[in-house]
Structure 1
Amino acid sequence: MKKIIFFFLLFTEVLFAQKLNNKIVYLDSLFIETSQDSQVYYRIVKDYHLEKKEYLFTQYYNSDKIESKGNSLNKDHFMKNGEISSFFENGNQKSVINYEEGYKIGRCEFWYENGIKKLEGEYFLVENKEKKIESILKINNFWDLENNQKVSNGIGNYIDDENLINDSKNNSISSGSILNGLKQGTWIGSNKKYKYSFEESYNEGILISGISTDENGQKYNYNVINVNPEPKGGISAFYNFIAKNYNQPENLKVSGKVITSFVVNSQGKITNIKTIRSLQTEADEEAIRVIKKHNDFIPGLSRGIKVDNTYTMPISLKAY
């Protein structure tokens, strides 16, 4: 009897120690870290407090159903590496995608929420017009919701739901022709979130040009789909501004990070500032004060149209 109790206590102690090494992170609808009150998802980072080459990330819906799981090369953000599986809240498989150091590369599969196979394809890397590396999806086979095959061996017609395929939350849907697995010719689409329509021209999967029309009939030319907001003077100047103007509280008791989020609106002004990871009340309030003082951004663009974007700002502090 004593031996059984001993092993039970030992098992409980080991299990408790394992849980202590894990970390829970609360996420909003865009999978950006937020407060527990604002969470839409949450993430468990296994062995967060240990030094490892990779960390197992498991993300959950608020219902505690698994949303996605896979390894990350960084314990503080999901730098995906290897096979990542995602799921609908009903438990059905949503996608299986392979990553290398955060980039989608290699085979992938997608399903509809009702369990019907949607797509089989593969990602490969290219350099875009901004001289940045991005992943391009080659579509080998595609089925509609009624299980009718619309693309076979890289040829056919395709409906691109950017929310599902590109991990986007901008609600754009477009349709057009696929040749050799890639977008080709004219594509027509619309965006419910920002209330615009668009027409784009592609050659071998690369966007050549596009024209969007907003809800007022104003037209915009573009050759890049999404442009992130940027501080005037550049990101380095912004960080230097924060470092120069942030007054660390004298009574700071612990070292760590204050993480603040805010919205850069379509006019380039900062709104909706809030603390999403608190370190100490005085440190949190000072982060909000100094960010408000800057308030000068170039707004982000969605298909040439100025839109609101969420921005996250971490500030590392060391207690003395």
Structure 2
Amino acid sequence: MPINIPKSLPARKILQDEGVFIMDEERAFRQDIRPLNIIILNLMPEKQKTETQLLRLLSNSPLQIQITLLRPKNYSPKTTSMKHLEQFYTTFDHVFKKKYDGMIITGAPVEQLPFEEVTYWTELCEIMSWSKKNVTSTLHICWGAQASLYYHYGINKYDLPQKCSGIYQYKVLTHKEDLVKGFDEEYFSPHSCHTYIKEEDITNNEDLTILSKSEKAGIGLILSKDKKFIFLPYHPEYDLLTLKEEYERDKKRKLHPTIPKNYFPQDNANHRPIFTWKSHGYLLFSNWLNYFVYQITPFKWS
């Protein structure tokens, strides 16, 4: 899929070097089709890395996509320059009158805080409320999924005794939903979380369906009955070395992390990890774009 992103966005060169089809605004304008407008609320601290990871997964489709990058207005991470934020990001007060075909709300390193104590919680609630009528389908990742489940359905998160980090195997519980079309019966995905959602809280809610589950990491994909919201407790967008970087960061902070499960060969951090979740990430995002955005969104928003 051609992704229409600014020429100067750092992710552009990385993706071009990987062979991803990047389109500039001039060429996109000449094509007589309407692109899908996808807005990404990026809550991750290292925003440039997350931009690249998500744009990579959005690239595996014949559809043309126009990306808008969104950030909280009153909070700026220390690991991303203000110049980058001002050049490539917008804030909610500039987009709340617009309509979008799809939205992604990322994870955030705030999961050990009560939701109401997160600096941008009030603004996030406004965005999640707005998404119900102004976005065709919203994909929520990790803490973003927990926050949305709490806001929309009153489902809380719970602390784990220790961080759940590694590559975990998930079993698909039903193949009747389009989101898991083409999935194998089992798949792998990275997990990096200090908290979890109780399975019974989801099964007791008639508006939600669990599509996959892991014996070790718990609930996988969750879909709302109206198919408007998708919740991913894990990180299909992670690069090969993201968990390694997190592990080394936590060691430097003397947080005494356990080595990520099922990640390093022989559990030796000096060994190169093996990429076992790439195909799942591409297929998941492709299914979302096709069946939950493109096939449903109106050609003209009214």
**TM-score, normalised to structure 1's length?**
0.28
User: Which of the two has higher C-alpha Rg?
Assistant: 1
Q: Looking at secondary structure, tell me which structure has more strand per residue.
A: 1
